[in-house]
Structure 1
């Protein structure tokens, strides 16, 4: 894009985000940061916010946020209902979805009960006691459960017995049952022989679906839980047509551990990565919209294979996670689950334990990524607004506008520029009827910071709870325009309040 001013108009959420990226993606020249409110002569990025959401815009679901754990950790995580701080951590985000799956679901974990002995290939098991502990965790946290049944080592009768137990024990806390993890990659992992396409998978999984429906009628199924959006056109369409699940699912990792170009903070936060992510979301949602079935991204994080130290455990991952969550909301997804390894604080994990002793009792610590979820919870129930963006000097940043249920406009501005860069100056044009504005900042000392990440200057307490501080006053809308600046390497939630709240 040339350095001259660029104009981009949008009428849908997805188009708006693409326009924001096109308008604000490049690296600006570094200069000394100036305090808020002193950028009167700075060249502003102009954002005109639509008065009303598009007719197709729906509120962000209440259970949009979620975590994902390896199925091999189900017993451990479930027992955190009785000790540790996971319940308080989950409650701080409101309702959500706990997903248990990952590669261990197909390669390590088997169901056992009096009729089902542990098979020779399994190194771990899940049983009714684990599910009873999980039910307690669900009840105390208010989070529902998306449970993966292993499909890598077929055992139809064991699967039926496990689904029956999960339905009886979890009851209303069971979100859905998934059959297998990333089944499109089974042949690559020697779990099936070639040829292995959706045709072969569909035939096998249909037998499971029929047996489950006959034994446990009404249990919702989810799938196909593919590795990424490239496989979803074939596998998601096949799942939607043949199985008609209650929920379509898939995964996303923007960077791969085995890529020729090594993962880095710069790559994670690059405009190119965000543009590719937008296309990925559209691939998923095109199938979901065509099938009229909700889609949940039930496993996602920064770098595959458990993450990369110095990237996945830094503030950069928090900025990425927030931005991607916004994209998922704008795209119309039903929710997103960030994959977590509670024993690995140097990889990707929103929460983790620093010692084996802490892991055993559930003493978990909020990692930088967790703060992105805390900010995102403020957008639950919002609807995405359309916008027109006029950008002068290009910049590596992202912007999103949403309408809160009480009539306020939420603006989320993420500036990826390194510390020391010039502040991003924005001029936001709103319709009539808006007054005061406030700001809640997500910040750290740098993109590489591994600690001292704060939301509104506050930190997660030792018991896992979070008391969000009052937002700071930003200013007032004058002549339907709000002007403000955003510091580099930060994310800010701007709330613009209506002069008169809408009638209930």
Structure 2
């Protein structure tokens, strides 16, 4: 069990019961001994609201991993089981990403065929499947399988055939892979995804992509007539508009009202908060800004509108997401602030009616050992937005992966139960200081998440003091804190300083203790210090 020097422990913030008004009235709390008084921003939230319609359901969170990671044998019980189990038994792994078109499926008649030079993602074979099966059995997680697209369409439809040319995988080869995956995983295979961000790499229209997805499903149905496997599509890119999935839905509905649910297990989109592609850079201030939050909300509401068009017969998902595209932004995606952002992003996504959010991650990397696109190891590369990594090669060889900041955000989300969202009435003007979510659990208890997104390293950061108006019969509760004791604030790279309820995740993938909660005073506002999150349970 790790101990901390007294100077590194998180001081309990001072609390003062004050008359609060909605918005941003400021009051000063009495400082604790030896502390400098910090200004307070006061908020009043109302938990009387009726359910907002959206639900928090099992299987909401999970990981998107590269097909190349799968092909290199990294999805094993020894490497990942404890890290997945700590996040709960209902997660989903997406096998896909950009390397979906760069792997060579070696099954059936193709098991002994030599992979062409273009298969830089490696060979996927039965040994990889057997390892994955053990991982799923040990964790309860399920998978979606990505299969190649680029080599199976009219090559005139590729935007840039010379860029990472794909090995010439055939439809028969795809079917042999799906048959092997189904035979090995059974019902743990949720769906088959066709291609990755087709709108980035092809000129296919949404209608043409819908017909392509149907063609794949027809071939799978012919080979596995009793499996009734459904598809994931269109896995559109991160554009803030939803024109691609909207057009895809229109094309599906043109085949009849039952066509979407007959073909699709989910309709998937991608969303990244920022970019590290080309000359683009993301900053911590941008990641935590109201503008980023509102842009994401607009995107998510558009996705929900497409779901409304389909009469909610097909779940809407983000099957690839993270803080910054193109492997993440160093100093942002791997910094403490990404913990708070990940928790916030999960809750914002669920509250807007999206059924699943998968964070793109590496699976077996040494921290900081980034491999660029021109590396011989690409696309096996450390990603700055990864959920876990090893401190050095010897730790990786021993399956000791330290939790990255992102992981702590997912672990915090894991503390919340199934239930319906309740609108707490937080105005957009408050988003620069506070994010707030309410969930009424199936047992009737109220769960509230309060995130102070201000940087504690900033001179003008304030405590958020929140007066929560509760329905009758909710006398009090308990709170668990996600925080970092590091001096660098949101930009701190000291993952060892992050705790959830005083608990940490060990390199073995388990928590060193259960996260602790403290009693929530019933006669004082809730104080949320800058750069922390409070997960509150209020019992009936």
| Same fold per superposition (TM over 0.5) | yes
How well do the aligned residues superpose, as a CA RMSD in angstroms?
2.9
**Residue 471 in 1 paired to residue 517 in 2?**
yes
Query: 2:214 aligns to what SS in structure 1?
Result: helix
- The residue that corresponds to 1:435 in the other structure is 475
Question: What does residue 160 of structure 1 align with?
Answer: 175
| Aligned match of 2:208 | 200
State how many pairs are aligned. Answer: 459
Quote the Cα distance in structure 1 between the aligned partners of 2:265 and 2:253. Answer: 9
Cα deviations across residues 373-416 of structure 1 (Å, max 9, x unaligned)? 11101223121012334799884221111112222211111111
Match of 1:96 among 87, 91, 95: 91
CA distance in 1 between partners of 2:301 and 2:21 (Å): 24
> How has the CA–CA distance of structure 1 residues 197 and 497 changed in structure 2, closer, same or farther, with 3 Å as cutoff?
same
| Correspondence list, 1:383-462, <5 A | 383-389=420-426, 395-419=432-456, 421-444=461-484, 445=486, 446-450=489-493, 451=495, 452-462=497-507
Would the aligned equivalents of 1:351 and 1:365 in 2 still touch at CA under 8 Å? yes
Deviations 1:109-145 (A, max 9, x none): 0211241234422121111221121111101111001
Which of the numbers 237, 248, 252 marks the counterpart of 1:235? 248
Give matches, 1:267-278, under 5 Å: 267-278=286-297
Deviation at 1:50, TM superposition (A): 2.3
Native 8 Å contact 2:387 2:407 kept in 1 = yes
Residues 173 and 261 from structure 1, CA distance in 2 versus in 1: closer, same or farther, beyond 3 angstroms? Answer: closer
TM-score by length of 2: 0.79
Does 2:416 correspond to 1:379? yes
Q: 1:30 to 1:77 in 2, by over 3 A?
A: farther
State the shift of 1:32 in Å: 9.6
1:255 to 274, 280, 297: 274
- Take 1:178 and 1:329, find their aligned partners in 2: how far apart are those partners? 22
SS in 2 for 1:411: strand
- Distance across 2 between alignment mates of 1:333 and 1:104: 25
| 1:495 positional shift | 1.5
Q: Which residue of 1 aligns with 2:231?
A: 221
Q: Deviations over 1:154-189 (max 9, x none)?
A: 2211111111111111102112111111111113xx
Aligned twin of 2:109? 115
CA apart distance, 1:235:
3.3
Residue 6 (structure 1) shift: 9.8
TM-score by length of 1: 0.84
User: SS in structure 2 opposite 1:337?
Assistant: strand
Task: Give CA-to-partner distance per residue, 1:239-291, whole Å, 9 cap, x none.
Answer: 56656201111111110113766310001111100000000111112112321
Q: Give the Cα separation in 1 of the matches to 2:114 and 2:196.
A: 20
Residues 110, 118 of structure 1: 8 Å contact kept: no
> Of 267, 277, 289, which residue of structure 1 is paired with 2:308?
289
Question: d(CA) in 2 for partners of 1:65 and 1:211?
Answer: 30
The Cα shift of 1:153 comes to: 1.6
CA separation in 1, counterparts of 2:245 and 2:21? 34
Partner of 1:10: none
SS at match of 1:310: coil
